[in-house]
Amino acid sequence: MITVNPEPISMNKEIDGVIVIDKPVNITSAKVVAIIKKLFGAGKVGHAGTLDPEATGVLLCCINKATKLSRFFLTGSKKYEAVLHLGVETDTQDATGKIISTSDELNFTEKTIRAVFRQFEGTIEQVPPAFSALKHKGIPLYKLARKGKFVRKSSRHVFISYNKILKINIPFISFEACCSSGTYIRTLCSDIGKELGCGGHLKKLRRIESSEFTINEAVNLSELEQLFLTGAINDRIISMSDALRNMPEHIADEFLTKKIKHGTILTTKEFMPRNTDNLKNFIKIVDTKNNLVAVLKFKKDSNRYNYCCVFN
């Protein structure tokens, strides 16, 4: 585990950007944020998508001004590597919970297993687990569940692009899943176990991609302080403009940049977006040095832009 110096390391300038952390097991996402905040001496740090303490892998951390960009990463798709344990059902749907049922009937063919996995591809309905950070009357469900008050949320639609089985070694099945934001992999494991008739739970989880940021870009906590001390950490910070990877871009001249920083109403007289057919499109405005100036949203009905966030 990283040992953070009592005083933050002195920086020549405030860092604004995104860093991809490979979160280790048995640490909360909030703790990772606290470590980065202290190490960087940052005023603000936030993550874009919680990982359970027992899960590992990609955790996007936004530093200082980049915290305004978290909203654009929260809805991105995710990829996970997971291990399903068949024949054991727990109240939390993962290995941390109490066992509520077991089954020795695990004589499944590979064909049967693959067929059931395919049933959980595409748009499916999923009931969020009772042990989750979702809230009921302002209280996280997991806090209620720990007191024996299990609140059942309504099912909701999630999208699973694919479930790719990597290895079958009964009672364990290793697989990779690509899914929409808000999908619970432990609920997926529980539902697959129920469909097979034996029950099951999530034994292990690793997030390998989040909003197109991959595990190959990630730095683990044991490396983080050393990279900071040597100055190499700058190479791992993704600038705010580069972090918005698939967002349409417009390069602003000095005149347009001044208009934006003064909050001037902008219309298509200033510039035209590349695609006026997609009303959901956000547009990132960068200056000639690739600094992020603002994120705008085009309103086709009025031919003007709404300000989402502006950076001075």
User: For residue 73, what are its two tokens?
Assistant: 């990463």
Catalytic residue list contains 242: no
List the catalytic residue out of 16, 22, 52, 94: 52
Q: Which residues of 252-290 are buried (b: 16+ CB within 10 A; e: fewer)?
A: beeebbeebeeeeebeeebbebeeeeeeebbbbbbbeee
Q: Which residues belong to the active site?
A: 52
